[in-house]
Amino acid sequence: MQLPRTARVHIAGHRGLVGSALVRHFRSEGFEDLMLYGSDRVDLRDRDAVRRLYADQRPRVVVLAAARVGGIAANAARPVDFLSDNLRIQVNVLDAAREFGVERLLFLGSSCIYPKHAPQPIPESALLTGALEPTNDAYAIAKIAGVLHVQALRRQYGLPYISAMPTNLYGPNDNLDPRTSHVLPAMLQRTHEAHSRRAARITHWGSGTPRREFLHVDDLARACLFLLEHHDGDAPVNVGCGEDVELRELAELIAEVVGYRGTVEWDTSRPDGTPRKLLDTSVINALGWKPEIGLRDGVSRTYDWLRTRR
């Protein structure tokens, strides 16, 4: 089912890492009517504001990429914010979508919704089968609620709304703040600063032994439109590259891309998080989608962006 390129599409969270990639991709695919409202114009945590927006603009398609996000430090420091803000954003947008006739909607969750000790690679069926990683459980619970909300809308109202669970993402417009960023951009920024200062050593968080899967955000944007046009089902769909890497290896790759030749050390007093998190992507692969951007190429592109940003 090809979406009409004249359809009004609300990309919620269009200024963030994922949202900005969605804007780039949808525009490149010929979509002419994108609804782009930043939080300075419409606070998605405000139920009345969201209802007014949808009553006035009447989008036909919604991609719900708006969220409060952050790495281990941010999640551990502000669990209430991550739970409360994300719940309110999701409930407000999903309820308004139903009330004002949105025809297709994609809710973006996160791979952190799966149990800490889920089987590897993690199938979609692992959802709600075990305890969560405690360092991001508040965020994970909010995202799980979003998945169940989408499923409830399908059951009660027969709406063709779907959910996707991306793996760890990175790319242009990523958050580089060391207090709130995710692991890859944090490592990249730290290594860039050390290289610029000609520092003899840098220190990354944890032991370096956890394994993580990384997907360039432009590949995720392609996957989002692909799912809207090729998938309709209750279960969330994993979106990843199908390969993971030890964080020590990632640190070495980043150092090579940046050109940093100092010593890389690890602060084992800092938490590691989930020991491994690799998604089973057989469902989306069987539908015909695969990523196009390899990790080294993706890190290089992201570093080019980091060096030129103002």
Is 16 marked within a binding site?
A: yes
What token pair was written down for 34?
């994108």
Given 54, 139, 161, 260, the catalytic residue: 139
Is 17 marked within a binding site?
A: yes
Is 212 marked within a binding site?
A: yes
Is 280 marked within a binding site?
A: no
139 given a catalytic annotation: yes
Is 110 marked within a binding site?
A: yes
Is 169 marked within a binding site?
A: yes
Is 190 marked within a binding site?
A: yes
Is 18 marked within a binding site?
A: yes
Is 205 marked within a binding site?
A: yes
Is 111 marked within a binding site?
A: yes
Is 13 marked within a binding site?
A: yes
Is 209 marked within a binding site?
A: no
Residue positions in the annotated binding site for NADP(+)? 13-19, 108-111, 143, 166-169, 182
Residue positions in the annotated binding site for substrate? 190, 205, 212, 272
Residue positions in the annotated binding site? 13-19, 108-111, 143, 166-169, 182, 190, 205, 212, 272
Residues annotated as part of the active site: 139
